[in-house]
Structure 1
Amino acid sequence: MSIDRVPVSGGDVVVETHTGTSEPVLVVHGVSSQRMLWGWLRAESPHLTLVAPDLRGRGDSVNVTGPSSLSRHADDLDAVMDALGLDAAHVCGMSMGGFVAVEFAARYSARVKSLVLVDGGVPVAPPAGLTRESVGAVFADRIARTQQHFDAVDEYVEFLVSTSLPMLDPADPLLRTYAEHDLVDGSVRLSSAAVVADATDVFFGASRFRELAMPIRFLHAQWSVGSSSAPMYSPEDIDALDLTSVVPMPGLDHAGTIMTPTGAAAVGRTIDEALDVG
């Protein structure tokens, strides 16, 4: 495992690389997440070489200044590739990270061999009633993290499970590792401004998905947040697109697609398929 600090506009993006036996896979986390999101994937597929940045405004990259957007993240990923000497890589993005991956592939198509998109990236209409002005309210649970002090990691884990991660096991040691990376002195390293700006870009920005020509594999959850909740993607959303493969993930919600052994194993198998055939 190696850690690199990559200069970008406004500061340094921190990147963690776990070297396995595969060629590199650039992995991009979601809107309120950070690079420890990929701990479950590392556990299920230790052969994968994962290049995992903390996006600006999150984790070790929380102090990168300047506006946040899908295009800004894409430019940061280009800088990461340059710094690590990678001409091209397979890219996997989860949730908002899927939309970043699509933007990156559109802006820097020669650098992306294939895309694996996990419950994100594929164009989707804003939820009913969502406006640009109400994005902050919809993501209030994420923003609330930044306004609270947590006296212990266990307290923060309970907060996460009680709000946005209801189907996860609070006793999971990987979830604890994930939570520990969020916290410094009881405060969550997450920019609320970046969360709102990036979520707004996801729902109201112009998707470049239909410009892409590389193979695209898509995995999607049965539910959004908790069992029986409406999924992020309807069958009609998925059927309308020409995708290399579509992998349903029954019995999992949005977080469970990567933050559980079952979800991570499915993502690992899909990445292996991409590595084998592009």
Structure 2
Amino acid sequence: MSDTTPVGGDEYTVPVPGGDLAVTRWGDGPGVPVLAVHGITANGHSFARTAAELAARGGPPLHAPDLRGRGASGTLPGPHGLAAHTDDLVAVLDHLGVERTVWVGHSMGAFVACLAAVRHPDRVAGLLLVDGGHGLPVPAGTDIDAVLGPAMARLRMTFGSPDDYRAFWQRHPAFAGRWNPWADDYVLRDLTGTAPDLRSTCDEAAVRVDGGQVLSDTEALGAIHRLTVPARLLWTARGLMDETPGLYTPERLAGLPDTLATVELPDDNHYTPLFSSTARLLAEQVHTLVQETVQVQGQL
């Protein structure tokens, strides 16, 4: 798979409370579509390379919504919160006529996917979690600004042109020296307004509600311990600003159920698995989960 050729997807919308949820679909291979859930200030195009790698392996299509308050769904009003996202995502499956499938979640999206598996066990066949889903090692009372810092500040910034926004991200420690067209496509989707007053599509109020639940909501934090479907967690050695350690370490993951397989990504930071060649591993893991769930369902 080329590092330089993003694959365009087909976009559609799904009616949800308050309006329409934007979804992008990549691939036309056989099998039940995979559902992908992005991070807290991201958008569905973060999964474009994973979808392309999956298609290159003859895998099924991948559908990635822009969650409520982000991307092309940026103007959708509340309700906010992780449970609201699970309801919106189930609406996507209903729209597609899909009863049960594999879900992929990155960062906050991994928490949403775990919560969906607990709240809607009949709709989740397997889970691939990418650097998320397990409670973060922060003191009680920590707010989302302390964790996301620069990402939260970005939501209040304006940019004179798409080139200015691109340059902002190219300087980001997580992307410095790692920029490619996959990242470019993702970043430019997170831009709205009219020059010279362009800004992120992310609704800060939505981000704050969701972030607060990722940090302290008992149901969301406990979901990963209550999974009854095949699940894997890929975790990065470096964090949001390319620092070490990252969000997780072997010690921080020690309390997870033995049934949850964990794999370290030693050369990645929190962002890069979705845009670097590591996306091939994500696609392989998704493809394996799809095959496992097909076999299990065939035995029922």
Q: TM-score, normalised by structure 2?
A: 0.85
Residues of 2 paired with 1:234 and 1:204: CA distance?
Answer: 20
Relative to structure 1, the CA distance from residue 168 to residue 84 in structure 2 (aligned partners, 3 Å threshold; closer, same or farther) is: farther
Show structure 2 runs of 5+ residues with no match.
1-8, 294-300
* Aligned partner of 1:127 among 118, 128, 138: 138
Residues of 2 paired with 1:201 and 1:216: CA distance?
Answer: 22
* Aligned partner of 1:174 among 182, 185, 200: 182
Contact 1:157 1:175 (C-alpha < 8 Å) held by counterparts: no
Q: Alpha-carbon deviation of 1:139?
A: 2.6
Deviations 1:21-45 (A, max 9, x none): 2421100000000011012213333
More displaced stretch, 60-69 vs 41-50: 41-50
Contact 1:182 1:188 (C-alpha < 8 Å) held by counterparts: yes
Relative to structure 1, the CA distance from residue 168 to residue 33 in structure 2 (aligned partners, 3 Å threshold; closer, same or farther) is: farther
Relative to structure 1, the CA distance from residue 153 to residue 169 in structure 2 (aligned partners, 3 Å threshold; closer, same or farther) is: farther
Residues of 2 paired with 1:79 and 1:259: CA distance?
Answer: 28
Q: Alpha-carbon deviation of 1:149?
A: 2.1
The alignment of Structure 1 onto Structure 2 pairs a total of residues equal to: 273
Match of 1:214 in 2: 229
Q: Alpha-carbon deviation of 1:167?
A: 4.5
More displaced stretch, 208-217 vs 95-104: 208-217
Contact 1:167 1:226 (C-alpha < 8 Å) held by counterparts: no
**Is the counterpart of residue 271 in structure 1 residue 247 in structure 2?**
no
Match of 2:6 in 1: none
Match of 2:63 in 1: 51
Show structure 1 runs of 5+ residues with no match.
none
**Is the counterpart of residue 68 in structure 1 residue 80 in structure 2?**
yes
Relative to structure 1, the CA distance from residue 137 to residue 237 in structure 2 (aligned partners, 3 Å threshold; closer, same or farther) is: closer
User: Percent identity at matched positions?
Assistant: 31
SS where residue 183 of structure 1 aligns? coil
Match of 2:215 in 1: 203
Residues of 1 paired with 2:233 and 2:177: CA distance?
Answer: 22
Amino acid at match of 1:176: D
RMSD after superposition: 1.9
Alignment of 1:248-267 (within 5 A): 248-261=264-277, 263-267=278-282
Amino acid at match of 2:10: S
SS where residue 6 of structure 1 aligns? strand
Contact 1:117 1:219 (C-alpha < 8 Å) held by counterparts: yes
Match of 1:118 in 2: 130
Alignment of 1:1-150 (within 5 A): 1-23=9-31, 24-46=33-55, 47-48=58-59, 49-121=61-133, 123-128=134-139, 131-132=141-142, 134-150=143-159
Residues of 2 paired with 1:244 and 1:131: CA distance?
Answer: 28
Residues of 1 paired with 2:185 and 2:10: CA distance?
Answer: 17
Amino acid at match of 1:253: N
* Aligned partner of 1:154 among 157, 160, 163: 163
Contact 2:234 2:265 (C-alpha < 8 Å) held by counterparts: yes
Contact 2:166 2:188 (C-alpha < 8 Å) held by counterparts: no
Contact 1:157 1:179 (C-alpha < 8 Å) held by counterparts: yes
Residues of 2 paired with 1:137 and 1:227: CA distance?
Answer: 16
Amino acid at match of 2:270: H
Q: Alpha-carbon deviation of 1:94?
A: 0.5
Amino acid at match of 1:153: P
Q: Alpha-carbon deviation of 1:277?
A: 1.1
Deviations 1:79-116 (A, max 9, x none): 11111111111000000000000111111101111000
SS where residue 252 of structure 2 aligns? helix
